[in-house]
Amino acid sequence: MQHNRDGEQKLYSPLGLFSLAFLVCFSTLGANSFEDFKRTQVKSFTKYKDERDSAFNNYLKQEWQEYLKHSDIKLYEAPKPREIIPAKVEQIKSVGPRITIEKKDDKKSFVPKKDVINKEIKKDVVFDFFGSKIGFNIDENLKGARYFPQNKKGILNFFNVAASSEYENIISSIKSISKEMGLNDWGVYQLVIKLSKNIYPNQDDRNLFSWFVFNKLGYSVKVALSQRHTVLLFYSKKVIYATPNYSFGDKKYYVVSNYAKGSVGKLYSYEQNYPDAQKDLDLSMKKIPNLALDIKQKELKFKDYGKTYKIDFKYNKNLIDFMSTYPQADYKTYFNTPLDTITYNSILNEFKKYINGKKATDAINFMLHFVQKSFKYERDIQQFSREKVMFAEETLYFNSSDCEDRAILFSYLVKKILGIGVVGIKYKDHMATALYIPIKGDSVRIAQKKFIIADPTYINANIGQSMQKYRSIRPESFIVVR
């Protein structure tokens, strides 16, 4: 089976193609679909609200190009260890200043967050967004936009109807809700995708609606054709792992919806962006989104030098659900995402009971042993059937974790609570951390500075103690924790 440059299947000779396709479409889709098609054609001639749309429409009519998928980039060159052999239990000399942690009041964190919409105001579309009820009014013309016929012409038809509809209210509402909820780019992505699912029953229509909206929001997003179906591609400056990606000039675009699902194969698309839509999809989460509260509590226990410690903390289940939707971002994203204030304050108040008055090395070791021993070691492939780096919040939530998850959690705790400089250190099959502290022990040099190893996966190990396997190996890379 062959395809033309627009991604359409070439099944018949040019002479009989239109009439035969017309009959097949009419008989398959039925009268209602045909009426939708005729209505779409009429609306395609209406006046655009944005002068950019006319030029972009003309550009889309040009011949599309074929794009081939690049190989997915893997997080690790080699599989992570199946099991970790614990280190011998040893105590180290107590040095450094004594630690004092101030108790944090988290009562303010429990003020109920209001739904984003007023329940008394009727909206065309209302849906749950990680615990909040979100509502939108949708223009009837936009609701009626359809991908028909199933080729490039259908994409143009959808675009024409959308561009001539009263879409401004939706764009304004998305911006307002995103600002109120403190959503990062991934939060905006989730909002638009969930909205599309509540408007259109068909995935192709959802993709085209999302494509239109994201372009209007200024994101560099493309639509492509694959076997007559639409595919949504997002530009990202940073690598999104285990996700099909395609090069458009010197930029990589990712089929985010196919994260960890495999290839979508050959695509037909266009080179030029929608005017002024240059923003990349940035997965970093510098601030925790303001999601509705669904507070849960968990207890973590671990033994250290013969004594059992209990750490009780609170977390927002809606935040855990939000984080679970993430594709595989780069390590900087995870290492530099904070804990939710509710979680952090409850952890901090628990730590205060055990480390206040202790010298710095003892306080650091307590945090290190807490991360080493409170969770079962389990590789992602066993736990999730795929590679999944967890945010610090997720590591606390799940009962099992592997090396990078623990490194992310430990680095955040030691940086935030004690103010110690820390970096993530990545080997081809392992992840640990290193601290900028003046003690003796196994170390790495970074920018002419000596950092002391602290491995949150090496059970019983103290700061300055690395697994034997990695003592003579130079790490592949370092992740700066800001």
In this structure, is residue 220 part of a structural domain? yes
Q: 354, 432 in Cβ contact below 8 A? A: no
Specify whether 173 is located in the same domain as 119.
yes
Q: 70, 252 in Cβ contact below 8 A? A: yes
**d(Cα 130, Cα 127) in Å, to the nearest integer?**
10
How big is the CA angle at 446 (ends 392 and 441), to the nearest 5 degrees? 80
DSSP secondary structure code for residue 470 in this structure:
G
Specify whether 353 is located in the same domain as 210.
no
**Residue found by looking up tokens 């990202």 in the block:** 236
Predicted confidence at residue 70, as pLDDT, reads 82
Specify whether 38 is located in the same domain as 186.
yes
Burial 203-237 (b: 16+ CB within 10 A, else e): ebbbbbbbbbbbbbbebbbbbbbbeeebbbbbbbe
In this structure, is residue 95 part of a structural domain? no
Q: Which domain holds residue 413?
A: 293-480
Q: 274, 219 in Cβ contact below 8 A? A: no
Predicted confidence at residue 280, as pLDDT, reads 98
**d(Cα 163, Cα 54) in Å, to the nearest integer?**
9
Closest CA to 268 of 230, 234, 235: 230
DSSP secondary structure code for residue 221 in this structure:
E
**d(Cα 225, Cα 218) in Å, to the nearest integer?**
22
**Residue found by looking up tokens 């209505």 in the block:** 39
For the domain that residue 330 is a member of, what is the CATH number?
3.10.620
Q: 361, 463 in Cβ contact below 8 A? A: yes
Q: Which residues contact 42 (CB under 8 A, 6 or more apart)?
A: none
Helix (H, G, I), strand (E, B) or coil at 30: helix
Span 45-82, pLDDT tens digits: 457 889 999 999 999 999 999 999 887 777 766 788 88
DSSP secondary structure code for residue 432 in this structure:
E
In this structure, is residue 279 part of a structural domain? no
Q: 93, 361 in Cβ contact below 8 A? A: yes
Q: Which residues pair with 431 in a beta bridge?
A: 426
Q: 146, 36 in Cβ contact below 8 A? A: yes
Span 332-349, pLDDT tens digits: 999 999 999 999 999 999
The number of folded domains in the chain is 2
Strands ordered across the beta sheet of 251-254: 65-67, 267-269, 221-226, 229-235, 251-254, 245-248
User: Which amino acid is it at 120?
Assistant: E
In this structure, is residue 86 part of a structural domain? no
Closest CA to 223 of 290, 277, 291: 277
User: Which amino acid is it at 4?
Assistant: N
Specify whether 57 is located in the same domain as 173.
yes
Predicted confidence at residue 332, as pLDDT, reads 97
Specify whether 248 is located in the same domain as 308.
no
Specify whether 297 is located in the same domain as 241.
no
In this structure, is residue 420 part of a structural domain? yes
Specify whether 263 is located in the same domain as 366.
no
Q: Which residues contact 243 (CB under 8 A, 6 or more apart)?
A: 72, 254, 255, 256, 258, 259, 260, 327, 328
pTM above 0.75, yes or no: yes
Specify whether 264 is located in the same domain as 311.
no
Specify whether 206 is located in the same domain as 343.
no
**Residue found by looking up tokens 């090396």 in the block:** 403
Mean pLDDT of successive 10-residue stretches along the chain, which has 482 residues:
46 34 38 49 62 95 93 74 92 94 64 49 90 96 97 97 96 98 98 98 98 98 97 97 94 94 91 97 98 98 97 98 97 98 97 96 98 95 89 98 97 97 96 97 95 98 97 94 92
Specify whether 30 is located in the same domain as 134.
yes
Extended beta strands in 236-339, E state: 245-248, 251-254, 267-269, 295-304, 307-316
Q: 426, 331 in Cβ contact below 8 A? A: yes
Helix (H) or strand (E) holding 417, with range, is helix 403-418
User: Which amino acid is it at 133?
Assistant: K
In this structure, is residue 326 part of a structural domain? yes
Q: Which two tokens stand for residue 301?
A: 């226990």
Q: 84, 401 in Cβ contact below 8 A? A: no
Q: 368, 345 in Cβ contact below 8 A? A: no
The bridge status of strand 400-401 relative to strand 376-377 is: parallel
Q: Which residues pair with 375 in a beta bridge?
A: none
Q: 145, 209 in Cβ contact below 8 A? A: yes
Torsion of CA 117, 123, 127, 133, to 10 degrees: 10
Specify whether 453 is located in the same domain as 413.
yes
In this structure, is residue 280 part of a structural domain? no
Predicted confidence at residue 34, as pLDDT, reads 43
In this structure, is residue 182 part of a structural domain? yes
Q: Which two tokens stand for residue 357?
A: 């008055």
Q: Which two tokens stand for residue 478?
A: 């370092």
Predicted confidence at residue 39, as pLDDT, reads 52
Q: Which residues contact 315 (CB under 8 A, 6 or more apart)?
A: 295, 296, 297, 298, 340, 342, 343, 393, 396, 397
**d(Cα 449, Cα 458) in Å, to the nearest integer?**
24
Q: For residue 469, with 0-12 CB atoms within 10 Å meaning exposed, 13-18 middle and 19 or more buried, which class applies?
A: exposed
Specify whether 180 is located in the same domain as 220.
yes
